[in-house]
Amino acid sequence: MLTITFFYLLVAIGYLFRNRSNVHPMVTFPYYGIMMNITMLKGLIIFLTGKQTHIWEKANRKADI
């Protein structure tokens, strides 16, 4: 229980210092890991509920000169 509390404390500290450039990686890795998981879960929910409205289309390229 103490370990998970410490981990989420690091996540909270990472959130507070997310815009600074000189933060120790021990703080930034847990924050970015949690944010990545939250974002993937959000994308999965959007996909499963059918709310995804954008469809990828191949970009038109200029012909080689």
pLDDT in tens, 35-59: 999 999 999 999 899 887 777 788 8
Comparing C-alpha atoms, which of 18, 37, 35 is closest to residue 27?
18
pLDDT for residue 12? 92
15: in domain: yes
pLDDT for residue 64? 64
Number of domains in the chain: 1
For the whole model, what pTM was predicted? Answer: 0.64
Contacting residues for 31 by C-beta, under 8 A, at least 6 apart: 10, 11, 13, 14, 15, 18
Average the pLDDT over 10-32 and give the result: 88
Tokens of 26: 């021990």
Q: What domain range includes position 22?
A: 2-49
| 31 to 39, 40, 45, 57: CA distances (angstroms) | 12, 14, 21, 33
pLDDT for residue 42? 94
Q: Which residue is associated with the tokens 């990472």?
A: 14
58: in domain: no
23: in domain: yes
Tokens of 37: 């998981």
